[in-house]
Chains A and B, each alone.
Chain A
Amino acid sequence: MNNREIVAFMPGKVIDIKIQEGDSVKPGDVLFTFESMKMENEMTSDTGGVVKKILVSIDDIINPGSTVAIIQV
């Protein structure tokens, strides 16, 4: 079992968390919605697995390169 880090690719503010710890996800599933530059963007999973840990809350500012979730593949 591998722990795969989901990493933010751009800065923004978390406005919606679409998953819960324990959920099963597949590649392409939307994990978070975040706001940047007055636009809404989605962060999708690039892997399948189970959501082990969610590391952000709503209204958090995320930096590019920071881990936002851990998925157990």
Chain B
Amino acid sequence: MIRVIKPGIQTTVQDNGRIGFYEIGMPPAGAFDSYSYQIANMLVGNDYNAAALEAVYMGPTLEFEKKGLIAITGGVFPCKINGQDVPMWETIPVNSGDILSFGMLQNGARVYIAISGGIDVPVVMGSRSTFMSSKIGGYEGRPLKEGDYLKIGILNTRSMKEGTKMGKEFIPTYSNRYSVRFMDGLCSYRMTERSKKNFVEADWIITPDANRVGYRIQGSQPLEWVERIQPFGAGNNPSNVVDVGYPVGSIQVPDVSEPIILFKDAVTCGGYATIGTIISVDVNIMAQAKTGDTINFRYVSMDESLQARADYQRTLQRIEEHLLHSAQY
């Protein structure tokens, strides 16, 4: 059991999400920074889909009832157990009564806390992820509150050695400016060529309206629509299209000055044009970008996107092999 002493700002139970329910309007949810989440699970010897905690901007204060192993990955936060500094990206032992707490966010935005065995909450529609809008999954469908008790599961597949470290080359660096890759589409035909060029040349600032549902971004120059008579079934605004499905990572433009990037808790369809989609591996980068940070977008082709995906999977494989050497059976 883990007792929640302080919940943080928004701490939720997440796993890889529930994929395959777009047809009923259910988005996948799941760990926003999939990379950090997966490594946290690897460091504690968990199954690939064991549930962990995702905390944004402020870490929770947790008391561990039993001895176990934890790992903390993601954005840069000072972490302490019983007041003593502990490192991130490492297999850390905890004893009965130990208290984990976090200092102020230094960089990045989200932190992942995995415990050997995984967080045990009911599986809903194939996943333990929390989808807050519908109060589904996770811990009672909501972010953690003071006084909550989290049960620990049995989803560990191997015993990890305390002090197992991640190689520095695998730890992401965070800053205030990120370059993000995206693919053209679905309704980019609605945008002028000049606007498409502006989109990739401009600096886009993340506004305070940024959470797991989506990030509103602000640019210095408004985008422009190709003029047309709105077709039957589309709304009156030039940003309207006849309702389309929204891929995860869609760049939606309800307002030419403030696009919204849709993420894992977003609506599944709607009547606003989307002009591009962030490639799946770069959604992990966006998870660590915070209000006030600058984003620069860069077009990539499907081939480049698939290459990025292959590189990412190879990296995870190398990490897994590296950690296997450190495991005890």
Contact = CB atoms under 8 A, between A and B. Distances in A.
Contacts of B156: none
Given A10-B9, A61-B292, A63-B292, 9 more contacts: A9-B104, A10-B57, A36-B57, A38-B211, A39-B211, A61-B208, A61-B291, A62-B292, A65-B106
26 contacts: A7-B104, A9-B104, A10-B9, A10-B58, A11-B290, A11-B291, A11-B292, A12-B208, A13-B207, A13-B208, A13-B291, A34-B208, A36-B57, A36-B208, A37-B10, A37-B57, A37-B208, A37-B209, A37-B210, A38-B213, A41-B9, A61-B207, A62-B292, A64-B105, A64-B290, A65-B105
B104 A64 contact: yes
B252 to A, nearest CB: 16
B39 interface: no
A8 to B, nearest CB: 9
A36 B9 CA distance: 10
A39 B9 CA distance: 9
B56 interface: yes
B105 A10 contact: yes
A67 B327 CA distance: 44
Interface residues of B, number: 17
A15 to B, nearest CB: 9
Given A37-B208, A41-B9, A65 B57 contact: no
Interface of A: 7, 9-13, 34-39, 41, 61-65
Nearest to A14: B208
Secondary structure at chain A's binding surface: helix, strand, loop or mixed? strand
Interface centre among A36, A39, A65 (most CB of B within 10 A): A36
A12 B109 CA distance: 12
B209 A65 contact: no
A34 B58 CA distance: 15
B291 A36 contact: yes
Contacts of A7: 104
A28 B58 CA distance: 18
Interface of B: 9-10, 56-58, 104-106, 207-211, 213, 290-292
Contacts of A37: 9-10, 56-57, 208-211
A9 B208 contact: no
Nearest to B293: A11
A37 B211 CA distance: 5
Nearest to B290: A11
A20 B57 CA distance: 27
A9 B290 CA distance: 13
Given A41-B9, A63-B292, A35 B105 contact: no
Contacts of A36: 9, 57, 208, 210, 291
B320 to A, nearest CB: 32
A64 B57 contact: yes
Contact of B57 (A11, A13, A38): A11
Contacts of A10: 9, 57-58, 105
Nearest to B103: A9
A33 B10 CA distance: 17
A38 B104 contact: no
Contacts of B292: 11, 61-63
Nearest to B56: A37
Contacts of A61: 207-208, 291-292
Contacts of A38: 209, 211, 213
Contacts of B9: 10, 36-37, 39, 41
A42 B84 CA distance: 28
Contacts of A9: 57-58, 104-105
Nearest to B291: A11
Contacts of A34: 208
Interface centre among A9, A11, A37, A65 (most CB of B within 10 A): A37
